[in-house]
Structure 1
């Protein structure tokens, strides 16, 4: 299946923090192939009521296979022997309006950084998705796609989904708040410059050398969220207002990526 990348401009590198092994809001589900790879580690597997039937066991709130922030499977065997769900994190997927897959990056992972994710890592994440969800991907694609050919531009106007996608790209694929404001006025005949000025003031409060970076990264993150499922049930106009509010929220953090992490925690773990 085709996977569209939603997080261009970010990369991931494991820092051995074991956050993903804490299983605070999730469990590590095991596929049939995972169980084969985990022969010899049966004491670390528990039964589950999920369709996967088995999960990794926990000890003191973390995966029971973690010792000194290191994975026993990776040390004693190799990386490829780890469960697909472990190898997939911090990547995941959502379903696009047309049923295609969106490869997403979970910003609450401590290893997320500014940069470029290489093709090898992208392909690896897609392979893990297909292994973990191979029996479900087609069904998820069909059920997740929009059944109506049209969506809402605002409270009164209906447009085709292809038009909405083009407008989202046009609005957010820019590096300047002022340009976004101009395009918003052009499309919706509404001036949002006052709200955008708040964003610009938040940037001025930070170090001036980081101002341009923060402006670019805020718009990049808004564009990333525009691709996800969370907002598409709203009219596009209301979605943009919500994204502006999210832009303000992340800019209240001195560390912009920390702000994005907080938003992703709310969106993906709720």
Structure 2
């Protein structure tokens, strides 16, 4: 991988802080069969595997943990494999973390995992130094998307690759613009996508001289269209959170379905005592309802702004059937961040969210929905459901601040 082929989101910084969180976090550390055999040859008296799992139809092996739930190869001095045998002998996922490249159109677009505290704080190297570190970490071979003349905007409508990149850049600028609340900026991004379906708007996208005036115009248009639709929006959030919390329904056990239905009902009605198993959260739903999402950037929402833009740079909008629907899914993930953030505050009986609540909310969605354990529900592959979601659940008039 050459430096000229690497692209990061604007103003990205990262250097390893030696915190070792990646070695002891409550998540899967996946290794391949070849890596299992290598570790067994290096440490014949150690069983490096604690179990198996499946991601995207591929079997993976889970690295063993000690009594503290840390990687079995973690010592007080750091990674035992790295110390005794060098960087090259470490599992690929360990060498690469927190770098996650995605190839598209001949370039490698990098997203940094926000499970890493240094990434979240945007602390460390940037520019060419960061790019060099990324190239050194990405020892695997990544398959990329083929170069296509056009990408789907919405349904059968298409735009060129060049027009898509300009559109993505403008949405990123909107989200990073501190003049606008994050809610307003995200909904304005959806308005910009819908504007891009006609040739006149495409010409405006190409014209970068009117960015400031156009951004304000788009945001004001989005605000004017907003209308309260609490029922459907709550349904969407209840569905997303229940799916994140469950992941057990595939077993077709009545007890799991009964539990999921109970969680979904409480989330939808916003009543009673809610327990979220994946995060260990217990809180009163009515308390959560009274915790509002900040509109004046207190606490600072810039980490969340950078997080969203990083996923845009990672070409998240090209992962669905079309750009508009992928943006709808991004709005759903944003709403999930808001819910978990407020849930952490509610569990602490706080009246406002804190910066630590926000960080944990982002981590939860990063792991369970966006990057490490992405949800790929078969439901979304059905055209009827997808069309229904586009028309109703993700209508531009939803006020995301109500979530």
Distance 1:251 1:261, change over 3 A: same
CA contact 1:169–1:223 (8 Å) conserved in 2: no
State the Cα distance separating 1:159 from its structure 2 match. 0.8
* Distance in 1 of aligned mates of 2:358 and 2:10: 15
Q: Is the CA contact 2:154–2:324 (under 8 Å) kept in the aligned structure 1?
A: yes
Deviations 1:57-85 (A, max 9, x none): 624465332245843345x5486466163
Q: CA deviation at 1:13?
A: 2.3
Name the CA distance, whole Å, in 2 between partners of 1:209 and 1:154. 32
Change (3 A) 1:185 1:81: closer
2:366 corresponds to 1:264 = yes
Corresponding residue for residue 396 of structure 2 = none
* Aligned equivalent of 1:203, options 294, 299, 304: 294
* Residue 192 (1) aligns with residue 280 (2): no
Unaligned runs of 5+ in 1: none
Q: CA deviation at 1:235?
A: 2.6
Count of aligned pairs: 244
Distance 1:62 1:163, change over 3 A: same
Alignment RMSD (CA, Å):
4.1
Q: Which residue of 2 aligns with 1:93?
A: 101
Provide TM-score, normalisation by structure 2. 0.49
Output aligned runs, 1:120-269, within 5 Å: 120-129=129-138, 131=139, 133=140, 136-137=141-142, 140-141=143-144, 144-146=145-147, 148-174=148-174, 175=177, 176-177=180-181, 178=184, 181=187, 184-185=190-191, 188-189=194-195, 191-193=221-223, 194=226, 202-204=293-295, 210=298, 213-214=300-301, 216-232=302-318, 233-252=320-339, 253=341, 254=353, 255-265=357-367, 266-267=369-370, 268-269=372-373
**Which structure 2 residues correspond to residues 76-91 of structure 1 after superposition, within 5 A?**
77=84, 80=87, 83=90, 85=92, 86-91=94-99
2:6–2:107 Cα contact (<8 Å) kept: yes
- Bigger CA drift: 153-162 or 180-189? 180-189
- The one-character-per-residue Cα deviations of 1:170-220 (angstroms, maximum 9, x if unpaired) are 122131244665565455259532389x9xx6214xxx5625x31x44433
Choose between structure 1 and 2 for higher RCO, CA contacts under 8 A separated by at least 6 residues: 1
Structure 2 runs not aligned, ≥5 long: 53-59, 196-217, 231-291, 342-352, 375-403
Equivalent position to 1:58, from 59, 64, 72: 64
After TM superposition, the score normalised by the length of structure 1 is: 0.68
Moved more, 186-195 or 247-256: 186-195
The residue aligned with 2:278 is: none
Structure 1 residue 16 corresponds to structure 2 residue 20? yes
Q: Which protein is bigger by CA-based radius of gyration? A: 2
**SS of the counterpart of 1:192?**
helix
- Residues 44 and 56 in structure 1, CA contact (< 8 A), matched pair in contact too: no
Partner of 2:8: 5
